[in-house]
């Protein structure tokens, strides 16, 4: 019996922004992988490079930013001739030119994205229907009538009532939850093999958050697609994801199965994140244990391990001077910390 099939491999990804004030190293060595049909959560504080990593995968990085190093290996399934199995082609997305025909054929069709704030991601002067239909008209050979019918069906599928009339409404006429459902419908029109959801529940109330997450899980099961979920909410990660990549200042400092990470976090940053979460049964008088300090200014990255100024386990003369190596543990999880370099 064959094992799980790889869909995406990110190796040593570095994405920089070259500004007059200096170079911003937004992503400085991201390494992780994703299985076909799997769910990966990317977590970390604001400014840690989560969204830029997603934009790098989809080649949406705008000037003055660009990918300067690394690989983004996407395992595409190609339809074989009738009667023969489908073949797989490995494409390095990092080598494709932004705006080229090659990446445009993949982006929106095989890799889709739900952006962080639907009110700003959707055009205010075009109807929901026109914006969703544009996706399928661009990637599929269908008539406008067929595209409209498929759009109505997809809107119904993501839980938008009266889809036939909602098709002709503008984004400002919909609630936050409905706009997010419309964004999900747009992303899924071509049934992608990978959906990247960037903070899909940030601006929603807790009830709507639960509905959107349940909708995404249901659609994932039905379509067999993989999902990369970018979020600050570790509770969401524990409920939805199978694997977790923890990012800090542009680096993936730990990558593991979700159960292993919550049961035995390795990196001091992961441990600090979990300690800062309120726990059931915790005394009301007790104080939370926040991480001291803030994420450093990306213009002035600290030497050595980027987390060492905030780390309670910092080793003087080593953590502040050596860039920690990426260590692969016997169970397959990876961690970037000198505490495990000699083990």
Cis geometry, peptide bond prior to residue 64 (ω within 30 degrees of 0): yes
Q: How far is CA 177 from CA 145, 184, 326, in A?
A: 27, 11, 40
Q: Per the domain annotation, does 86 fall within a domain?
A: no
Q: Per the domain annotation, does 142 fall within a domain?
A: yes
Confidence band (pLDDT; 50, 70, 90) for 42? very high
pLDDT in tens, 78-99: 764 444 456 788 999 999 988 8
Q: How far is CA 260 from CA 119, 230, 255, in A?
A: 37, 19, 10
* Beta-sheet strands, E only, within the chain: 6-19, 22-35, 39-43, 65-78, 87-92, 111-114, 194-198, 226-230, 243-248, 251-257, 326-328, 334-336
**Mind giving me the DSSP string for 156-208?**
HHTT-SSHHHHTT--GGGS-HHHHHHHHHHHHHTT--SEEEEESTTTTS-HHH
pLDDT in tens, 201-246: 776 777 878 888 888 888 888 888 999 999 888 888 888 899 999 9
Choose the final residue of a domain: 156, 189, 222: 189
pLDDT in tens, 286-335: 667 778 888 888 777 888 899 999 998 999 989 999 889 999 998 889 99
Q: Per the domain annotation, does 207 fall within a domain?
A: no
Choose the final residue of a domain: 138, 171, 189: 189
Contacts 24+ apart (CB under 8 A), 82-87: none
241, 41 contact by CB (below 8 A): yes
Domains of the chain: total? 2
pLDDT in tens, 199-213: 887 767 778 788 888
| Rounded (10°) angle between helices 128-139 and 144-157 | 120
Q: Per the domain annotation, does 317 fall within a domain?
A: yes
Contacts 24+ apart (CB under 8 A), 119-123: 119/171, 119/172, 119/176, 119/179, 121/183, 122/171, 122/179, 122/182, 122/183, 123/171
What percent of the chain has a predicted confidence (pLDDT) above 90?
Answer: 41
Q: Per the domain annotation, does 260 fall within a domain?
A: no
Cα gap 140→146, rounded to integer Å? 10
- Range from 159-173, 179-193, 270-284 carrying the lowest mean pLDDT: 270-284
Neighbours of 302 (CB within 10 A): 15
Partners of residue 336 on adjacent β-strands: 326
Q: Per the domain annotation, does 258 fall within a domain?
A: no
Domain that holds residue 154: 120-189
Q: Per the domain annotation, does 296 fall within a domain?
A: yes
Average pLDDT over residues 141-152: 90
Q: Per the domain annotation, does 312 fall within a domain?
A: yes
184, 158 contact by CB (below 8 A): yes
Choose the final residue of a domain: 158, 189, 220: 189
């Amino acid at each position: 019996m064959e094992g799980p099939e790889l869909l995406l491999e990110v190796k040593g990804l570095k994405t920089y922004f070259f500004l007059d004030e200096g170079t911003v190293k937004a992503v400085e060595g991201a390494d992780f992988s994703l299985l076909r049909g799997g769910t990966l959560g990317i977590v970390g504080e604001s400014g840690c490079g989560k969204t830029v990593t997603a934009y790098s995968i989809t080649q949406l990085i705008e000037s003055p930013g660009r990918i300067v190093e690394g690989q983004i290996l996407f395992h595409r399934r190609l339809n074989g001739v009738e009667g023969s199995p489908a073949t797989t082609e490995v494409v390095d997305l990092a080598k494709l030119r932004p705006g080229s025909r090659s990446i445009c054929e993949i982006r929106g069709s095989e890799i889709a994205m739900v952006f962080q704030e639907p009110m700003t991601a959707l055009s205010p002067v075009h109807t929901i229907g026109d914006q969703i239909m544009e996706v399928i008209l661009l990637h599929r050979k269908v008539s406008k009538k067929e595209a409209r019918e498929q759009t109505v069906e997809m809107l119904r599928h993501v839980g938008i009532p009266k889809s036939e009339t909602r098709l002709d409404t503008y984004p400002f006429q919909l609630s936050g939850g409905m706009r997010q459902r419309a964004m999900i419908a747009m992303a899924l029109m071509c049934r992608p093999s990978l959906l990247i959801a960037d903070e899909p529940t940030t601006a929603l109330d807790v009830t709507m958050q639960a509905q959107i997450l349940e909708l995404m899980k249901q659609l994932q099961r039905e379509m067999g697609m993989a999902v990369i979920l970018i979020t600050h909410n570790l509770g969401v990660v524990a409920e939805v994801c199978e694997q977790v990549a923890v990012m800090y200042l542009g680096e993936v400092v730990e990558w593991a199965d979700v159960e292993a990470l919550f049961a035995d976090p390795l990196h001091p940053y992961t441990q600090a994140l979990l300690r800062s979460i309120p726990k059931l049964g915790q005394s009301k008088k007790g104080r939370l244990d926040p991480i001291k300090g803030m994420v450093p200014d990306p213009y002035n990255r600290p030497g050595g391990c980027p987390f060492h100024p905030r780390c309670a386990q910092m080793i003087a003369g080593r953590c502040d001077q050596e860039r920690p190596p990426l260590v692969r543990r016997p169970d397959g999880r990876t961690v970037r910390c000198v505490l495990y370099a000699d083990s």
